[in-house]
Structures are given as structure tokens and as C-alpha cells.
Structure 1
Amino acid sequence: MALTEDQLFAISVTERVCSAISLTSACAAMSTYLICKKCRKPIINRLIFYALLGNIVLDVATLIARSAIPQGTQSSLCQIQAFLIQWFFPADAIWALCIAWNVYLIVLRGYDYDQLRQLEWIYVPICYLLPFIPAFTFLFIETAERGKVYGPAVIECWISTTWDILRIAALYGPVWFFIVLIFVIYIRVGLLIYSRFKQLLQVSSNHSGIEGPHQIESFSTTDRYEMTVAVSLQCEESRLQRQETAVGSFTLTTTRDSMHSNLDTAAYAYLRYAFLFFIALLVTWVPSSANRLSTLINPDYVSFGLQYTASFVIPLQGFWNSLIFFNISRRECKALFIHTRDDIALKVKRLFDNSVE
């Protein structure tokens, strides 16, 4: 069942509007990163910055929407749009895996700030070179029976319907493999942190129940049980202070007044930031994967609802990454806004005073 012209028009408009929103927010986040020095310190922000570069290119490709389809499969616009989508669409999932891997290295391997910085030069080529290889190769594949790999794909030029199996093999299959890996990493980290929290609670309970002389001796006021759990996504302010990493750190102590509040803060920060990337990834890929699965099961069936949802979520990768960036850097962004506002107000005042004189 083919979609009507009105349905295709609605899909095209939605894809362009979402692409424009994503492109604007991505440019705003990148500009903030370049202007605000403090926003560049967290490794997580730098990784988001690198990911936004790919998001912007993807947004440019999705802004074309269905405009390349009428020009035909052999047209340069159709081939370029399909190539860019195949290249940069899965790159965001690989960046999410790199971010999850950083969390693993920090919590389970004890990596510090400098060690994580050294991994950045590895992450960039992995995230962009890995999907580039099949995307570039598909430009040159063509058979008499199926034609070129890149061609019309309902909402834009991408892998054509005659090569539908490649959509699973070259995109959806690898991406869901990455999603499963991310899920496993976060489960492993979460279990470790939960185990440490239980240890801290046990120590706190023992500490509050001190009665005998030997217990007082073993839990003296100078004896503190400390543990650093790297779970918030903040970087170190100084290497001379307590060791902090690219996702930050919290010092958890058994002091009766502070242990529980620090514990809650650490748990909240972990859940808030670590799973934020995972949720954003699922929001992007679950609807489009459902659409692709329905097409694979029944090639003759085209769901307007699934196609429309896919056109809505696919271009928004840059928007979600920008949202995460501004959430992490909200204090620095607020300070930058206040400074800029005051600076503009001062310049306007001086201009006004000079005009009066």
C-alpha cells in the first residue's frame, strides 16, 4: 500500500522542521563550546562536540528530505544524500558506545583524566571511519537486477528497497549490537556501584551502633572510610585536588551528616547522566527500527505512522546531544549568559552616554 501525496508531504515537512531544529541547536552547542573555555574541560563535552560535527552533516542531508527522489537514482543529489545518511546516521550510536566505555574505564579500571584524554584520538577515527567504509563502498555497487544500492527509500534517498537486506546488515544490525553493548556496560557499572553503596551503608550502620571499647578504638574519630565513585559526568578542576576524572567524582564518607546526602547525589548523577545517552539513543532508533522490521516482514506494507515517526526522530540526534551538552554545562552557560548580558548592557550604556555628550 503506497502512501498518498498528502502523507508524503507531511513526512517531508516534518523531517525538514526537525532537521532545522536539530541543526540550530547543534550549532548553538558547538558555538558555546568554542566560546566558553570552561565548557571544554569535561571530556564528555568534548566527545559531544565531536559527535555534533556528524550530527550537523546528517541534518544537512535530512534537510533535503524527498527533494532528491524526483531527480532519480542516478542523480548526484540522491547519491550524496544517501551516502551522508549511511555514513553519519550510525556514527552517533558509536559515540554513545565510546561514552559508555569511558564510564566503564573510570569506574572499573580507575582511569584518570589524562588517560581518558589520550583515548580521544582513537574515538574520532573509530566513530567516523568505521561507518564510512560501507557508506563509501555502496556508491560503487550496482547490478543489472537490483540497480544501484543507493536510491529512493520513501522518506529520502538511502539504501533502496531492492537492497533491503543491506539496511539490516550495514546499519540496524550493527547499531543494535552497539546498543546491547552499552546496556551491558551500564548494567555492569550499576551493579558495582550498588555493591559499593551497600558496603558504605553497612559501614555507616556499624559506625552508628558503636558501644564497646574495642569498637570505639577501631572506629576512632580519625578513622575514615572513603571511596571515590566516578559517576557524575564532570571533569576535574585541578589535578592538585582529589583525583577527578572525565565523569567527575564523589567522595563518600561514613560521617553521619554527609554520607547519605553524598550517596544520594552520586546515585542521582549516575542515573541522570549515564542513562541519558542510552535513552536518547533508544528514542532515535526504536521507532525507525520498528519501521524497518515491518518492512522486512512485509515489503508490500508501508505504515504511514511508522514512516512519519521515523522522519520525526531520525533528524533529532543533534538536538538530543545539544540538550545533554547544555544540561551538563548549565552553570557555565548561565555564567556566560550573565557575562554577555552585562557586557552588552555596559557597551550600550557607554554608547548612550557618548551620544548624549
Structure 2
Amino acid sequence: MSLNEQQLLAISITERVCSSVSLISASIAVLTFLSRSAFRNPVNRLIFYALWGNMLLNIATLMSRSGLQHGTGSPLCQFQAFLLQWFFPADALWALCIASNVYLRFFYGYNSEQLRQLEWRYVLLCYFLPFIPAFTLLFIQTLDRGKVYGSAVLYCSISVPWKTLRIAIIYGPVWLTIIVTFTIYLRLGLYIYFQLKQLRAVEMSGDWAEHVNRIADPSVTELQAMEPTVSQQHSQADQSGTLTQQAVSAHSINSHSGASGSARASSHSTMAAWAYTRYAFLFFLALLVTWVPSSINRLSTTINPNYVSFGLNYAAAFVIPLQGFWNSLIYITISRREFKALFGQFCDSLALRRRTRMAFLVT
């Protein structure tokens, strides 16, 4: 069984459209991060690094079936397969790094500077580690199975005769990474749940409940989130610290003022940590959206090499190029206040130019 020309054309068009959308959205996120320091919060920093891999992956997905049309042994086909092998698993590794940051921040009290010092190690893990097998496979071939990189229906990747390698060096390690990442979030979720359960016993005024809701919104800056309680008591606090670090400091300060102050500081710590965690978890959910359809498709072809499903192939062609789009969407959601301010500045600039032009015409 094979796909007909109309089905292949539909897959190719979908791949290219989704790749273009992903490239545009990722480019917007990268440009705002580079141009405005307000966008550089801890979660966005790692998403920024991940987006570079997403954009390079989109170069491969934009090629769609062009590599196959030039021949599986052509440089274009081999280059496409190399890019896919290199950057396709990187998103899963970045999800693990983001989860690790949350864990270190939450349980070990890492501040922004300490986490920033880990970033070069994350880059090596997410980009240098996948590069090794991706580059090595370019030079492996046998008489009976040919080159490792060849036709994978949708594009050039690890070919069907080498199907066991797909599990060994792509899907197996990625799903192991996904399981480890999920375990971290499960540990965090259970801890936060029990903390919130304890906090329900604390009677809070309406004003305090509203203040906690502000903390739960990570788009509010760390200093704003802690006002008025902490900024008044501890004006020398490190304003560049993270949400969680500020909240832990709040707990330390208020613990001397009695049980009520301690409960409130605990509320700060828990809600601030939850605010950070929930957005990091969205990155993990976006990863699942990408990998589940593709994994089902590859598992089916591994079990039965003659099985070809248009539905599964189309679903994979739709979700794989959109890694950068989902990550950009999370970035934009986290930075919605900054984007709103940026849009306001842009509108004010346009209005000023219009008034200047009208004044010039009048005179």
C-alpha cells in the first residue's frame, strides 16, 4: 500500500504551510527577545534557545519531499535527513532542561544567576549531543540496505531498511526523556498540591486573595508581584531575582512577624512557584502534541513496513513543523504584557508620525 499523488501533494502543502507559520512566529519571538530586555525572564530564556533549533528544523520541513524527488542519495536528501535527525529530538531535551530549572528553583532555591550559569551546559546537551549521531549516520551504508538516510515517505530521514535505528536513536531516547520530564512535573505537582491544601486552612481577606492572584500571573514582574508587603519591608532585596527566589525571601522575612505573616509568605512562595511551573509545563504539553502522532506513525511502520496510513502521515506532517509555533505561542503568552506595551509604543509612534506629517502639510 502506498500514498497516491494527491495525498502526497496534500502532505507536502501542509508541511510547507505549517513550516512557514512556525518560522514567522519563531522569528518574532527571537527578535523581541534580542531587542527588548523586558522579554528575558527565566522561562523565555530557554524557549529562546529552543527556538533556534525549531527554525533550523523548519528549514528541513520546508523542503518537504524535494529531497526525495532529487533522489535519496542526493546531497539535498542527505542534508534534509541530517537536519531532521539533529534538531527533531532537541525539543524534548529542552523540555527536560526547562523542567530541571523549575526543579532546581523550587527545591534547591537556585536564583536567576545560578540558572543562567547552567545554560551553556543545556546548549551542549540539546544541540551537541544529537549532532553526534546525526553526523555519524551520514557515512554509514551497507550493500544490502544502502545508506542510512533515505526515504521516509514524508521526507528524507532514516530509511525503512534501517527502521530499528529509528527506535534506538530517535524515538526510544526521546520517550525516555519525556518520561523523566513528566516525572519531574509530577513530583512538583504533588508538592504544590499539598502546599495549597494546607493553605486552604488559612483565612485570607479579599484584598490578600486578590494579591495572591497577582502573584500567580508570571507576566507581572517580580517586584510588582511582591508589592506592597515585601518591597516595603525589604527594599534592599535583589530585584533581579526570580519569582520563586523573591517568594522564598518573603517567607524568611515574614516568619519573624508571627503565624499570620508566615502563612502569607508561604502563600507567596507556593503561588509564585506554581505560576512559573504552569508555563514551563505548557512547553511539555506542546512536546507531546508533536511527538504522539509521529510516534504512532513510526511504530506502525516498524511493526508492519508495508502499512502506510494517510491519516497518520498527514497528522505527522501537520504537527512536526509546528514545534516553533507552539513554543512561540507559549513565549507570547508569558510575555503578553510586554507585547501589549510594545504594540502601544508602535501605535503611539504611528500616531506621532501622522501628526507630524499633518502639521508639515498645514504649514
Give the structure-2-normalised TM-score: 0.84
Question: Does structure 2 retain, via aligned residues, the 8 Å contact 1:232–1:249?
Answer: no
In structure 2, C-alpha distance between the alignment counterparts of 1:320 and 1:290, rounded to whole Å: 20
Q: CA deviation at 1:247?
A: 6.3
Secondary structure (helix, strand or coil) at the match of 2:64 reads: helix
Q: Residue 275 of structure 2: which of 249, 269, 272 is its match?
A: 269
Q: Hey, what does 1:227 align to over in structure 2?
A: none
Q: Hey, what does 1:119 align to over in structure 2?
A: 118
Residues 58-97 of structure 1 aligned to structure 2 (within 5 Å) = 58-97=57-96
Question: Does structure 2 retain, via aligned residues, the 8 Å contact 1:19–1:63?
Answer: yes
Which sits farther off after the overlay, 121-130 or 322-331? 121-130
Q: CA deviation at 1:147?
A: 0.5
Percent identity over paired residues: 58
What is the letter of the counterpart of residue 102 of structure 2? V
Q: Hey, what does 2:131 align to over in structure 1?
A: 132
What is the letter of the counterpart of residue 242 of structure 2? T
Q: CA deviation at 1:102?
A: 0.3
Q: CA deviation at 1:284?
A: 0.3
Secondary structure (helix, strand or coil) at the match of 2:308 reads: coil
Q: Hey, what does 2:198 align to over in structure 1?
A: 199
The CA RMSD over aligned residues, in Å, is: 2.9
Question: Does structure 2 retain, via aligned residues, the 8 Å contact 1:197–1:263?
Answer: no
Question: Does structure 2 retain, via aligned residues, the 8 Å contact 1:233–1:248?
Answer: no
Which sits farther off after the overlay, 320-329 or 273-282? 273-282
* C-alpha distance after superposition, 1:278-324 (max 9, x if no partner): 21011000000000111111111101100000000000000001001
Aligned length: 334
Q: Hey, what does 2:360 align to over in structure 1?
A: 354
Q: Hey, what does 2:288 align to over in structure 1?
A: 282
CA 1:66–1:50: 2 relative to 1, 3 Å:
same
Q: Hey, what does 1:104 align to over in structure 2?
A: 103
Question: Does structure 1 retain, via aligned residues, the 8 Å contact 2:82–2:134?
Answer: yes
Q: CA deviation at 1:258?
A: 7.0
Q: Hey, what does 2:231 align to over in structure 1?
A: none
Unpaired runs of 5+ residues, structure 1, are 209-229
CA 1:64–1:58: 2 relative to 1, 3 Å:
same
Which sits farther off after the overlay, 281-290 or 250-259? 250-259
Which sits farther off after the overlay, 338-347 or 242-251? 242-251
Q: CA deviation at 1:194?
A: 2.2
Question: Does structure 2 retain, via aligned residues, the 8 Å contact 1:68–1:77?
Answer: yes
Q: Hey, what does 1:29 align to over in structure 2?
A: 29
| 1:339 corresponds to 2:345 | yes
Question: Does structure 1 retain, via aligned residues, the 8 Å contact 2:12–2:65?
Answer: yes
Question: Does structure 2 retain, via aligned residues, the 8 Å contact 1:98–1:123?
Answer: yes
In structure 1, C-alpha distance between the alignment counterparts of 2:244 and 2:71, rounded to whole Å: 48
What is the letter of the counterpart of residue 14 of structure 1? T
What is the letter of the counterpart of residue 110 of structure 1? G
What is the letter of the counterpart of residue 285 of structure 2? I
* C-alpha distance after superposition, 1:104-145 (max 9, x if no partner): 001111111111111111111111001000000000001111
In structure 2, C-alpha distance between the alignment counterparts of 1:293 and 1:342, rounded to whole Å: 54
In structure 1, C-alpha distance between the alignment counterparts of 2:182 and 2:126, rounded to whole Å: 18
* C-alpha distance after superposition, 1:254-288 (max 9, x if no partner): 47997998699558635631321121011000000
Question: Does structure 1 retain, via aligned residues, the 8 Å contact 2:87–2:127?
Answer: yes
Q: Hey, what does 1:226 align to over in structure 2?
A: none
CA 1:286–1:249: 2 relative to 1, 3 Å:
farther
Q: Hey, what does 1:245 align to over in structure 2?
A: 242
Question: Does structure 1 retain, via aligned residues, the 8 Å contact 2:106–2:273?
Answer: no
* C-alpha distance after superposition, 1:227-250 (max 9, x if no partner): xxx987567559825784266765
Secondary structure (helix, strand or coil) at the match of 1:301 reads: coil
Q: Hey, what does 2:227 align to over in structure 1?
A: none
Secondary structure (helix, strand or coil) at the match of 1:145 reads: coil
Give the structure-1-normalised TM-score: 0.85
* C-alpha distance after superposition, 1:81-110 (max 9, x if no partner): 000010001101101100000000011111
CA 1:117–1:246: 2 relative to 1, 3 Å:
farther
Question: Does structure 2 retain, via aligned residues, the 8 Å contact 1:90–1:131?
Answer: yes
Which sits farther off after the overlay, 310-319 or 162-171? 162-171
CA 1:281–1:113: 2 relative to 1, 3 Å:
same
Q: Hey, what does 2:228 align to over in structure 1?
A: none
Question: Does structure 2 retain, via aligned residues, the 8 Å contact 1:97–1:178?
Answer: yes
